[in-house]
Amino acid sequence: MTAPPLAQYPKWRDDLILALRVKNVPGDQIGDILLEVESHVTETGESPEEAFGKAKDYAASRVVVKPDPPEEDMDLVAQILIPGIGGFLLATGAFDLGAGQDSWAGWRPWLMLIAGFAIMVVTFLRLPVDDVRDPRSNSPILGSQRQFILIILGSFVIAAVLMFWLGWLIAP
């Protein structure tokens, strides 16, 4: 079975998705736009760039939805600060645990590790899910956003293991 035409132009497709995401176009609309392009290039035999021009320019022409209002500054601070605190607790707790150090600022290393990981899990699970969806089946086109979040959390576990190992290496 030959690949669908748009799959032969992954860069154009990915550039379009990114440009639409940046403009806050909802995931289901992105899926609809992608499928329009796929359908059209299948009919005409053109490349997406021949039929639709540069992906970024085409994305700009498709913004008919009002973007979300700009977030409050405090929301933005919280979105950066809270995961930052969680990452710090995770890394420091893992390092101190590996180094065999008793506590940091009165915190037990294992408590910092658990608190840090809990903050990261809650932060990422609270992110709004806005998958790019196929309008025909409503199933995610690019893989579920939740799967992506789980991969990110998995990488935090790996980072914690590395910090533990580093603490163990450096320990006197």
Partner 1 sequence: MLSQSALAIVAAENTTYGYQILQRLERAGFGKIKGGTLYPILARLEAEGWITSSWGEGEGGPGRKFVSITDAGREEIAHRRSEWPGFAEVIDNLWTDAIKRDTIT
Q: Contact positions toward partner 1, by CB under 8 A?
A: 4-5, 32-33, 35-44, 46, 50-53, 57-58, 61-62, 64, 135-136
CB of 19 to partner 1, least distance (A): 13
Q: Which is nearer to partner 1, 17 or 41 (CB)?
A: 41
* Cα Rg of the chain, angstroms: 22
* Tokens linked to 136: 């025909």
Q: Which is nearer to partner 1, 59 or 119 (CB)?
A: 59
CB of 148 to partner 1, least distance (A): 24
Question: 119 near 83, Cβ under 8 Å?
Answer: yes
Q: How many angstroms separate the CA atoms of 96 and 119, rounded?
A: 19
CB of 144 to partner 1, least distance (A): 20
In this structure, what DSSP letter does residue 171 have?
Answer: -
Q: How many angstroms separate the CA atoms of 149 and 24, rounded?
A: 19
CB of 44 to partner 1, least distance (A): 6
Q: Which is nearer to partner 1, 42 or 103 (CB)?
A: 42
Judged on CB neighbours under 10 Å (0-12, 13-18, 19+), 169 is exposed
Q: Which is nearer to partner 1, 34 or 113 (CB)?
A: 34
